[in-house]
Amino acid sequence: PTLVRSVPLRALLDAAHADDAIVRALEAKDNPRIAQIRSEVRSEVRSEGLIRAIESACRLLAIGIDPPRRQQLEALDSTKLENLLTHLETERGWP
């Protein structure tokens, strides 16, 4: 397979420019691995945002987040984090 976008000679000689040029070329080619990485990053950012929202809800409800709860939070995927946030909002307590 070839790249959809050419890689400038300068980029081939400078490692940082080379990396950037290759990433841009793979993006232009709609490389599935680049799409997967983007999806993973979005999911991580979403989970981090939900954890911050849960932390805020817990502070407002005077619910402590001890180390076991912290570990539980960090193990949940975004769907389970959303469910936990909904539970905190509706039941006003940790499940």
**72 Cβ neighbours under 8 A, 6+ residues apart:** none
Tens-place pLDDT, residues 8-22:
776 667 777 778 888
Query: Is 32 in contact with 40 (CB distance < 8 Å)?
Result: no
User: By percentage, how much of the chain surpasses pLDDT 70?
Assistant: 87
Smallest CA-to-CA distance from 31 within 22, 43, 42 is with 22
C-alpha–C-alpha distance, residues 46 and 25, integer Å: 27
Give the global pTM: 0.68
**In this model, does residue 1 exceed pLDDT 70?**
no
In this prediction, residue 2 has a pLDDT band, given cuts at 50, 70 and 90, of low
